[in-house]
Amino acid sequence: MNSLWRFLALLLGAFVFLFPFYYMLVGSLQAEPDPGVQGAFPSPGNLTGRNYAEIDAAINLGRSLLNSGIFTGGVILGTLVFGVFAGYALARLQFRGRGAVFGLMLLVQVVPFQLLTIPLYVVIVRSYGLADSYFGMIAPFTINSTAVFVFRQYFLQLPQELFDAARIDGAGELNILWRVALPLVKPALLTGVLITFIGPWNEFLWPFLITKQQDLQPLAVSLSNYLTTVSARAANPIGAVLAGACVLAAPAVGLFTVFQRRFISQGIESGIEG
């Protein structure tokens, strides 16, 4: 009996969590807006893909998705590379000032990015001349202090004996990182990908400042322009807004769905013989 009640409680929780996504999807497919309760269960005759076609005609979804992929992929690559190196150094290397560096890294996390927008804009656009370029959009996000913290904590969990044995065998630090540490922290890599993906994928302020060229703007910027200037003239403004939200949310939901089964603890002690 307890199992039945637990199942019903979980089912109810899942319904409450998923219903906004369902309503967003159904609303994006409606030809005529229906904000009432019955709008959650529309008649088949009121379903259409016209809202998505209007968005594609206004902003070129394919090009915007490609721009978002380049921008987000560059940020993820930089975050993983620099995050892994910095996290490994803070966790496993002994050097003077390591604690101070870690403290400064934590301090950076309390500084809102909006406070740095104007100085970064001056440096990127005026000093380096990187306006209207992918690299200008990517550069400020390549180092993520949250990802560094996550990698550091995972590297700290690895048994010291693994590193000692590798050093006795003559392995260098880069070889130890590549062959010993990284294979044991795959959940950290997936976590780094997800926490990094969500930020740049939804970012619209910084790319908008860097470029006004529509053929370089990521999806979030293009949708923001569309929702503020064009969607009001659409046949179904509410459906257009919900369609834009679905397009922006779909990759993040898909990425989490693919990777969520991989977020499991690794048997890191298995590398040590008993």
pTM: 0.81
Answer positive or negative: Cα dihedral of 162, 168, 173, 178. negative
Greater model confidence, 15 or 43:
15
- What are the structural domains of the chain? 61-221+248-271 (1.10.3720.10)
pLDDT at position 137? 94
Q: Among residues of the chain, what percentage have pLDDT more than 70? A: 91
pLDDT in tens, 141-153: 988 888 898 899 8
| Residues in contact with 205: Cβ distance below 8 Å, sequence separation at least 6, in sequence order | 114, 117
Alpha carbon distance, N-terminus to C-terminus of the chain: 43
The pair of three-digit structure tokens given for residue 147, joined into one six-digit string = 């990802």
Name every residue whose Cβ is closer than 8 Å to that of residue 45 and which is 6 or more positions away in sequence: none
Q: What is the pLDDT of residue 207?
A: 92
Task: Give the whole-angstrom CA distance, residue 74 versus residue 141.
Answer: 9
Q: For residues 38 and 32, what is the distance between their CA atoms, to the nearest angstrom?
A: 13
pLDDT > 50? residue 265: no
Q: Which residue has the higher pLDDT, 244 or 33?
A: 244
Nearest to 191 by CA among 84, 66, 271, 68: 84
The tens digit of pLDDT for each residue in 138-196 reads: 999 988 888 898 899 889 988 888 888 888 888 888 899 888 888 888 878 887 888 78
Structure tokens that stand for 188 in this block: 């950290």
**Under a CB-based contact definition with an 8 Å cutoff, are residues 262 and 272 in contact?**
no
Alpha helices in 109-236 (DSSP H): 113-121, 134-138, 145-157, 160-168, 173-176, 186-202, 205-210, 219-229
Mind listing the pLDDT tens digit for each residue in 22-57?
A: 888 888 888 887 766 666 777 777 788 888 888 888
Q: Is pLDDT of 1 > 90?
A: no
Per-residue pLDDT at 270: 42
pLDDT tens, 90-109? Answer: 998 888 988 899 998 888 88
